[in-house]
């Protein structure tokens, strides 16, 4: 049985060695497609694979239709907005993610970006400290929780808003649960966006909400570009010259943002929240193990469709 690992942003060597070991032990054959440049390269390889592992790579209806023997797709990571769940379900293909496996890496990057921004991109001028600042975490999942853990060490005042999370669960981490998104934006001197991209959250970070942020606020996005209304973010940054926006997901209007807001806007060149050896190994090997368990025993833990 063949398993395809298709990654535009490849796993590190140790992760691939680990994935290979899992498949060797299970008697599966690993087919590796890295740094591909067009969808056709995936289409050419899928006709006889039973499973696919991807990162942010798009698995759409055309790929699913071409993969006649496909049983399972695992997104090695958290967000599975890159996989056409409807098409997968219709074709009886199981889709899973590997929740939690790269969340510490993403949470650490939140603070990498934050300190860089708070210290004015290391331009030699006076910056601000994070200690004592009010941190608002939008969505308290695996990443949100790790952000809170690190923020506690820094000495921040932490607030979280998540409709899917109970007050008890949030409060157990010494984090203050908030009950409206407006309240979160009003409080957050530092706002960490950690919501997945869903039909409900797409373009939901808009000018009305952003305008509630206190003076001098910093917004950090390590989630998805799709959750931000990019035109309104640009307009907001124009109007509120006190605000900084730091993102790990280059917006479509990146060039314009760079030109208009030097010293207040920064984007990583390529999404790198999960680009650590540890996250790669954790997520990649977890994905491989989930495939083996599903195909050998039918275990469906972490199924999302």
List of residues contacting ligand 3PG (CB under 6 A): 9, 55-56, 77-79, 102, 271, 273-274
- Nearest residue (CB) to ligand 3PG, 100 versus 127: 100
Residue 96 makes CB contacts below 8 A (sequence gap 6+) with: 72, 73, 74, 75, 287, 290, 294, 300, 301, 302, 303, 304
- Nearest residue (CB) to ligand 3PG, 75 versus 133: 75
Contact between 28 and 293 (Cβ < 8 Å): no
Question: Which three-class secondary structure state does DSSP give residue 39?
Answer: helix
Contact between 241 and 219 (Cβ < 8 Å): no
Closest CA to 102 of 286, 288, 294: 286
Least gap, CB of 59 to ligand 3PG (angstroms): 13
- Nearest residue (CB) to ligand 3PG, 13 versus 296: 13
User: What is the arrangement of strands in the sheet containing 244-247, beginning at the earlier edge strand?
Assistant: 176-177, 157-161, 134-138, 190-193, 218-221, 244-247, 265-267
Least gap, CB of 133 to ligand 3PG (angstroms): 25
* Placement of tokens 């820094």 in the chain: 154
- Nearest residue (CB) to ligand 3PG, 222 versus 229: 222
Q: What is the DSSP letter of 98?
A: -
Contact between 302 and 282 (Cβ < 8 Å): no
CA 270 to each of CA 8, 262, 288: distance values in angstroms, whole numbers, following the listed order:
11, 19, 25
- CB-nearest residue to ligand 3PG: 77
Question: Which three-class secondary structure state does DSSP give residue 188?
Answer: coil
Least gap, CB of 177 to ligand 3PG (angstroms): 24
- Nearest residue (CB) to ligand 3PG, 8 versus 231: 8
Least gap, CB of 54 to ligand 3PG (angstroms): 8
- Nearest residue (CB) to ligand 3PG, 215 versus 301: 301
* Placement of tokens 């209806």 in the chain: 61
Least gap, CB of 270 to ligand 3PG (angstroms): 9
- Nearest residue (CB) to ligand 3PG, 100 versus 177: 100
Structure tokens at 265: 């806007």
Least gap, CB of 55 to ligand 3PG (angstroms): 3
Least gap, CB of 10 to ligand 3PG (angstroms): 10
């Amino acid at each position: 049985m063949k398993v395809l690992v298709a990654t535009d942003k490849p796993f590190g060597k140790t992760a691939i060695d680990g994935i290979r070991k899992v498949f060797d032990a299970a008697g599966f054959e690993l087919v590796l497609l890295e740094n591909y440049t067009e969808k056709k390269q995936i289409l050419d390889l899928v006709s006889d694979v039973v499973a696919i592992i991807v990162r942010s790579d798009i698995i759409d209806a055309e790929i699913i239709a071409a993969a006649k023997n496909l049983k399972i797709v695992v997104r090695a990571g958290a967000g599975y907005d890159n996989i056409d769940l409807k098409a997968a379900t219709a074709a009886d293909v199981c889709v899973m993610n590997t929740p939690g496996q790269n969340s510490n890496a993403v949470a650490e990057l939140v603070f990498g970006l934050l300190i860089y921004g708070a210290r004015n991109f290391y331009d030699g001028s006076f910056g601000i400290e994070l200690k004592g600042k009010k941190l608002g975490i939008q969505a308290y999942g695996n990443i949100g929780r790790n952000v809170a853990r690190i923020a506690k060490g820094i000495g921040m005042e932490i607030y979280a808003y998540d409709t899917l999370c109970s007050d008890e669960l949030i409060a157990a981490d010494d984090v203050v649960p908030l009950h409206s998104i407006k309240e979160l934006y009003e409080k957050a001197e530092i706002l960490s966006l950690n919501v997945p991209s869903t039909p409900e959250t797409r373009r939901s970070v808009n000018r009305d909400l952003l305008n509630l942020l206190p003076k001098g606020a910093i917004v950090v996005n390590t989630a998805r570009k799709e959750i931000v209304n990019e035109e309104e973010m640009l307009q907001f940054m124009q109007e509120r010259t006190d605000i900084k926006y730091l993102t790990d997901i280059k917006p479509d209007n990146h060039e314009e943002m760079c030109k208009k807001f030097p010293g207040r806007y920064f984007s990583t060149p390529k999404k790198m929240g999960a680009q650590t050896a540890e996250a790669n190994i954790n997520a990649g090997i977890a994905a491989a193990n989930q495939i083996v368990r599903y195909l050998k025993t039918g275990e469906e833990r972490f199924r999302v469709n």
